[in-house]
Amino acid sequence: MRLYALRGANHVSANEAAAILTATDELMRELIERNSLEPEAIVSCIFTLTDDLNAEFPAVAARNLGLNRVPLLCAREVPVPGSLPRVIRVLVHYYAPEDHEPRHVYLGDARGLRADLDSAQ
């Protein structure tokens, strides 16, 4: 087994708790599915939000998916002028077999953040 890190992002429709939870749920489900992850293999998740999102913690959506024993952290993204607004990003650390190929996930308008990653789309 080897330790891997996955990146992902999703665009949020509005600064509302339900919208943040929905976007995070969609992002985490896609990361889990594409990478065949089990909660026991996930070491930690770090979520960041752009400054315009503060209605809810993305970690709440991860807990609702059953990641109750995984350390989760929420933080602010660096507010670079001109950057895409209303974005949730995640960095997931997990164990997988040596031959595993990480599949990053960028959804909605956040796809443009890493169009260079074929596996992200």
Residue 85: which CATH number? 3.30.1330.40
* 59-88 confidence digits (pLDDT tens): 999 999 999 999 999 999 999 999 999 999
Query: For the chain, what is the domain count?
Result: 1
Q: What does the pLDDT read at residue 114?
A: 79
Alpha carbon distance 63, 82 (integer Å): 32
Q: What does the pLDDT read at residue 97?
A: 96
Alpha carbon distance 7, 82 (integer Å): 21
Full residue range of the structural domain in which residue 24 is found: 2-120
Show the tokens assigned to 9: 């992002």
Q: What does the pLDDT read at residue 120?
A: 55
Q: What does the pLDDT read at residue 113?
A: 83
